[in-house]
Structure 1
Amino acid sequence: MADKPLLIVIGGPTASGKTELAIELARHYGTDIVSADSRQFYREMQIGNARPTETELAAAPHHFIADRSILQPLNAGGYADEALPLLNRIFKKRPVAVMVGGSGLYIRSVCEGLDDFPTVSEGAGAQVERLSREEGIEGLRSELSRLDPVYFERVDRHNPRRMERALRVCYTAGRPYSDFLGNAPPRPFRTVYLQPQAIREKLYDRINRRVDRMLSAGLEEEARSLQHARHLPVLQTVGYQEWWPCFAGEYDRERAVELIKRNSRRYAKRQRTWFRDYHDVRTLTEAVHEVKALTD
């Protein structure tokens, strides 16, 4: 084994078999699984997040599964603050750990760190809000192009939230947003990224069947029990957010189910794209020899 421990990261779209692969690898290496699914953290959200079953949880030690309330939300930075010391404890006992989940930003926060941005001032926030309200997305594009042409070339120009975030930093710091990118310290472990492969049509079929199982398990009833907290950001997520208009009478149950399946497929597509574009991602076949070389 080389001087640095190894973190095997299993990412990719929902319903692609990540949990099964993570358990197989954790059992093989006799190590722990660190969940990087930003909705499986919460006790109250069980059915709609495809949380591992009790049998799966018993197959290997798991962390960050149903360990807090929706009233104690955990963002990506907070997740890294908790996950990094946990990994250090695992690495003191084992040279390998497994991380699994589809929340790309949370994975990045641990493996690479998040960039250190200044605290946004109230004035900067108000300025961006006014610009967005009065000039819309074109105004955001024009201003970002002027203040940070480097970031403007890489940002999704159809995503106003990302441009607003960059502009708030520009206004606060008086410097380009791009100046703050890439400043996180290196991590004391090596990382191999795996992504289970699935043909799109088969993946979408698995997603549809998973939603059907969730409905049979009581997803609608779980959503009703959480309706009082529907304003929380953690409940503005696929599998739950589609029920709120249904419960308000805006459309029927059939439409809610249709939207959950559709939005789950769209979410899987975004996850697949994110991990496909992520550096050094391996398929399982490609990674077998690399992982073996790193752990021998």
Structure 2
Amino acid sequence: MEKKTLIVIGGPTASGKTGLAIAVAQHFGTEIISGDSRQFYREMTIGNARPTDQELALVRHHFIADRSLLDPLSAGRFAEEALQRLHTIFESHPYAVLVGGSGLYLRALCEGLDEFPEVTEGARSQVQSLLNEQGLPGLQAELSRLDPAYYAVVDRANPRRLERALQVCYASGQPYSSFLGQTTARPFRCLYLRAHPPREALYARIDARVDAMLAAGLEAEVQSLAPHQDLPVLQTVGYQEWWPYLRGEYDRATAIDLVKRNSRRYAKRQVTWFSKDDQYRTVAGVADVLAELKRL
């Protein structure tokens, strides 16, 4: 029997993913899994560009505002829950749609994540001491010694990546790279697509979206979330720029400018993520999706 098909629609913020996903889901009479890591939480409505009530009414969506931000959803746990939802959807539909700009969450569901050993407190302390004493060069030198294979491909300017790899090395006594590539095959096939408008158009849409968020009450939403501002999910673009403003460190105009600037930078990183994965094909509408399905 032919495998069921998960149509994956990725891309940067404000690229039109939501509209395309809804159109595709309507065409196939199926449901949508949201893989946007900031849209899971019901307390966040405006700054995370959640689909409107009108859009949500068109097609059944899963993982939109279905939990509290006090119960954060990791990529691994999302994959576990989403696999269960997909099993139910595929019982009555040959197709399902996955949409989002959080590349790690999409990958977790479609391919699984590598399983790493538990990192001990001792390993964390050891890496932190190294960072405090020798800085980034110390992390680089140690990872080069313990795991030259991973050192050759990692972003060496990203201390968090280096710290994580060294923690695993210390905790397990094995190279970090030895735990990579252990993903599990899925019982469905994936068609990887991306919305990818021209950069100038994308940036203009981002600025317009921020203006629309402000008109919809973004600042009031941020103020209501201020007691939780230290949560990782609120240390993200669209929210993190407001916390210094609320502390009086700069004015409102600066906060708005930073939201727009950082949203453009975030979109650029998303474009890079999806561009690096050669499985993704650029599409602009349902006709393009159908054409790609024929090639699958």
- In the superposition, the TM-score normalised over structure 2's length comes to 0.97
Query: Paired residue for 2:123?
Result: 124
Q: SS state of the match for residue 66, structure 2?
A: coil
* Structure 2 CA distance for aligned equivalents of residues 104 and 159 of structure 1: 18
Q: CA deviation at 1:290?
A: 3.0
Deviations 1:6-43 (CA, angstroms, capped at 9, x unpaired): 00000010000000000000000000000000000000
**Which residues of 2 match residues 11-26 of structure 1 at below 5 A?**
11-26=10-25
Bigger mean CA deviation after superposition, 277-286 or 50-59: 277-286
Query: Paired residue for 1:284?
Result: 283
Deviations 1:190-238 (CA, angstroms, capped at 9, x unpaired): 1011111211011000000000000000000100001011011111011
Query: Paired residue for 1:49?
Result: 48
**Which residues of 2 match residues 141-220 of structure 1 at below 5 A?**
141-220=140-219
* Structure 2 CA distance for aligned equivalents of residues 290 and 251 of structure 1: 48
* Structure 2 CA distance for aligned equivalents of residues 197 and 251 of structure 1: 34
* Structure 2 CA distance for aligned equivalents of residues 77 and 155 of structure 1: 21
Deviations 1:235-260 (CA, angstroms, capped at 9, x unpaired): 10111111100010000000000000
Q: CA deviation at 1:284?
A: 1.6
| 1:139 lines up with 2:127 in the alignment | no
Structure 1's unaligned 5+ residue stretches are none
Q: SS state of the match for residue 191, structure 2?
A: strand
Q: CA deviation at 1:133?
A: 1.1
Deviations 1:108-152 (CA, angstroms, capped at 9, x unpaired): 111110101000011111101111111111001100111011111
Query: Paired residue for 1:72?
Result: 71
* Structure 2 CA distance for aligned equivalents of residues 293 and 148 of structure 1: 40
- Following superposition, which runs of at least 4 residues in structure 1 exceed 4 angstroms of deviation? none
* Structure 1 CA distance for aligned equivalents of residues 2 and 84 of structure 2: 18
Kindly, what percent of the aligned residue pairs are identical? 63
Aligned partners of 2:22 and 2:59 also within 8 Å? yes
Code of the residue aligned with 1:71 in structure 2: it is L
Q: SS state of the match for residue 85, structure 2?
A: helix
Query: Paired residue for 1:36?
Result: 35
Aligned partners of 2:130 and 2:138 also within 8 Å? yes
Q: SS state of the match for residue 226, structure 1?
A: helix
Q: CA deviation at 1:293?
A: 5.7
* Structure 2 CA distance for aligned equivalents of residues 123 and 52 of structure 1: 43
Q: SS state of the match for residue 120, structure 1?
A: coil
Query: Paired residue for 2:94?
Result: 95
Code of the residue aligned with 2:292 in structure 1: it is E
- In the superposition, the TM-score normalised over structure 1's length comes to 0.97
* Structure 2 CA distance for aligned equivalents of residues 240 and 151 of structure 1: 33
Code of the residue aligned with 1:81 in structure 2: it is E
* Structure 2 CA distance for aligned equivalents of residues 107 and 97 of structure 1: 13
Code of the residue aligned with 2:252 in structure 1: it is R
Q: SS state of the match for residue 45, structure 2?
A: coil
| 1:4 lines up with 2:3 in the alignment | yes
Aligned residues: 293
* Structure 1 CA distance for aligned equivalents of residues 105 and 167 of structure 2: 22
Structure 2's unaligned 5+ residue stretches are none
Q: CA deviation at 1:287?
A: 4.6
